[in-house]
Chain A
Amino acid sequence: MTRALFAVLLCLNLLIVALVLGLDTGLPEGQRLSRALAGFSVGGMLALAGVLLQVLLRNPLAEPFVLGISGGATVAALAGLMLGLGSVWITFGAFVASLLSVLILFVLAAPGGQRSGDRVLLTGVVLAAGWSGVIGFLLVLGPQPSLPELLFWLMGDLAHPVSPWGSLPVLGLSLAAAWVMASGLDLLVHGDQQAAVLGVEVRRLRLACYLLASLLTAAAVTVAGPIGFVGLLVPQLLRRAVGARHVLLIPAALLAGGALLMLLDLTARVLAGDNLLPVGVVTAVLGVPAFLVMLRQQGGRH
C-alpha cells in the first residue's frame, strides 16, 4: 500500500515533468525545465513547511500562507527584490521575517507550546492582513522598475524573477533533517510533556522544527511569491492515505506537493493561454473551499 503510493507519486512527478517539457504552452523550450523545477521545489517546500508547522502549533490547519508567515517572508523578499539584492540575501531576509512571524504567533496565540486551537488561525489571518498592508506601502512608495512582474510574483507565480536552482539544496537538506526528526515529531504532536516523558529533548526539537519551517517558507516565497494552501491540502490528504506517521508523511508530502504545484501551474497555462494566470490564484480558488470544509470538520471534533 505504502510502496504503491510512493511509486504512484514518483510516476506522477515524472509524467508531469514530461508534460511540462513536451507541451507547447507558449513557454520557450529553454525555460521549461527550470519552470518544472520551480513548481516541484516550491510545492515540495510548502508541503513540508505545512507538515512541520502543524506539529509545531499542534493544529492540523496550520499552514504558512494562512498563518501570515508567507506574508512576512514576502515583505522581506519584496524589499530585497526592489533593492536588487541577490537571491541568497533575499532568502535570508525572508527567513528572518518568517522567524519573526512564527514568533509573533507563539507569543500571541500559543504561549508555552500548548495546543493552539482556532485562536492561532485567527491571529495568523490578522497577521497576514497586516503584512499585505505593508506590501501595499512598499509597492506605492518603493522604486518601480518592473512592477507587472512583481505583481505576478506577489500573486504567487513561477515565472521567477529569482532562479529556482538555489532552492534545490534547501529542499534536499530540509528533507534529510525533517526525516531524521520524524519519530520525535510523532511524539511531539501529543504534547510537549508527553514527548518529554518518552525521551524527546523537546526544546531542541521544537527549535529545529521552527527553524526548518521558516527556512522552507522563506525559500519557497523567494522563488514563487506567496502561494497558499499547498501546505494545508497535501498533508491533510496524505494523512488519510499513508497515516499520520512522519517517516512516511514527510517524503510523501514533498513528492505530492511538488507534483501538485507543477500540475496546477501547467493547468493554469493550458487554460489561460496567453493571459498568464499565476498559479497562486489557482491554489487559492481550490484551497479556500477545502480549508473551509476542513475547518468545519475540525470544529465538529472538539
Chain B
Amino acid sequence: MTSLQIDRLCYGRAGQPLNQPLTLRANPGELWAVLGENGVGKSTLMHTLAGLIRPVAGQVSVDGVDIRRCPRKLLARRLGLVMQHSDLAFPYSVREMVSAGRYPHRPPWRGLREEDRQAVDQALEALALEPLAQRAIDQLSGGEQRRVAIATILAQSPGVVLMDEPVQQLDVRHQIRLMEHCRQLAGEQRLVMLSLHDVSLARQYADRLLLLYPDGAWEAGITGQLLTPSRLEHLYGVPLQASGQGEPFFRLPGKDGK
C-alpha cells in the first residue's frame, strides 16, 4: 500500500523545465496512463519519479518520504521502473535477469532464499517466460526482452510500478496480456503508472490519466472525463474521435464519409 505524492514538480534535463509545476497524488489501486506526444517529457517524468534525474524544482514523495532522501535499496522496495532500453552486453540467462529484481530484498552476500525463488518463479510464469528461463538474454527478440524486463519488476514487487512505454515492441496479444497484468497489479492495491502512445489502450485499461500538453500544461483526472476530442486535439495536434459510442478505438474523423 504505497502512494505517490508529486508536489510542484518541474522535470527536465540540464536544468531546463519541460512543464508547468505538476502537483498530484496517486493512490494504491489506481492505474495511471501518461499521454503526450513525442518529446513532451514522458520518459523524463518517469525517470524523475524514479529518482534517476534530479527534479528542476519541487519534490516527489513515496509514502511521505522524499525520494531523494531515501536510500536506494529502501526506495527499490517501494518503487520500481521498467525502462525503455536496457544494456545487454553479457550473457545472463532469463532467470538470472529476473532474479535481479530480488536484489533490494536480500542481503547482498546471500544467495536467493526460498521466498526469492518463489517470487522469481511466479514472475516467469506470469509472463509465460518459463520455456525461455535458461536462454541467454542477448539471444532473445526485442519483444521477449521487454517481457523479461517486466517480469523483473514483478519479482521486485514494489508498491509503485512505473513503466516507460511498456507496450513498445510487443505484439497485440502481449500488449493486451501486459495491460491485463497491470490491471491485476492495481487490483493487488499497487499503484501502476505507464506512459503510452496508444490512446485506445489507455481508454480501455487506465482509470486515471495524466495528459502532458506540448506547451507544458498538464491535466490529471479520471479517464472517462478527460478523453474528449478537444483535449486529444490539444494533446496530439490532430483531430481524434471515438469510433463509436462506448468504443475504445480512436481514429481520424471523416475518412469513411461520416
Using a CB–CB distance below 8 Å, which chain A residues touch chain B? 54, 58-60, 115, 179-184, 186-187, 189-191, 193-194, 196-202, 239-240, 243-245, 247, 301
Contact = CB atoms under 8 A, between A and B. Distances in A.
Contacts of B52: 193, 196-197
A198 B103 contact: yes
B91 A239 contact: yes
4 nearest A-B residue pairs (beta carbon): A199-B76, A199-B104, A199-B73, A191-B87
A190 B86 contact: yes
Interface of B: 47, 50-52, 71-77, 80-81, 83, 86-93, 96-97, 100-101, 103-104, 108-109, 111, 138, 152, 156
- Among B52, B74, B90, B93: residue with most chain A CB under 10 A: B90
B101 A245 contact: no
Contact of B71 (A182, A184, A201, A240): A201
B87 A194 contact: yes
B96 A190 contact: no
19 contacts: A58-B87, A115-B89, A183-B108, A186-B100, A190-B86, A197-B76, A197-B80, A197-B81, A198-B101, A198-B103, A198-B156, A200-B72, A200-B73, A201-B72, A239-B91, A240-B91, A243-B92, A244-B96, A245-B92
Contacts of A247: 111
A200 B47 CA distance: 16
A198 B100 contact: yes
Given A199-B74, A199-B104, A200-B103, 10 more contacts: A58-B89, A183-B108, A184-B108, A186-B100, A187-B100, A190-B86, A196-B52, A197-B76, A198-B80, A198-B103
A30 B91 CA distance: 45
Nearest to B88: A190
B178 to A, nearest CB: 19
Contacts of B96: 186, 243-245
Contacts of A187: 100, 103
A244 B91 contact: yes
Contacts of B109: 179-180, 183
Nearest to B97: A190
Nearest to B82: A197
Contacts of A202: 72
Contacts of A182: 108
Contacts of A245: 92, 96
Nearest to B110: A183
A199 B75 contact: yes
A239 B96 CA distance: 13
A193 B85 CA distance: 10
Nearest to B73: A199
- Among B47, B72, B76, B77: residue with most chain A CB under 10 A: B72
B86 A194 contact: yes
A181 B47 CA distance: 25
Contacts of B89: 58-60, 115, 189
B26 to A, nearest CB: 18
Contacts of A184: 103, 108
Given A189-B87, A191-B87, A244-B90, A196 B72 contact: yes
A302 B242 CA distance: 42
A182 B32 CA distance: 36
B19 to A, nearest CB: 21
B166 to A, nearest CB: 14
A259 to B, nearest CB: 23
- Among A181, A187, A189, A244: residue with most chain B CB under 10 A: A244
A243 B91 contact: yes
A243 B74 CA distance: 29
A186 B87 CA distance: 12
Nearest to A179: B109
A197 B73 CA distance: 9
A179 B109 CA distance: 8
Contacts of B97: 190
A302 to B, nearest CB: 10
Contacts of A301: 138
Nearest to A117: B89
A191 B83 CA distance: 11
Contact of A199 (B47, B72, B138): B72
A202 B52 CA distance: 11
Contacts of B80: 197-198
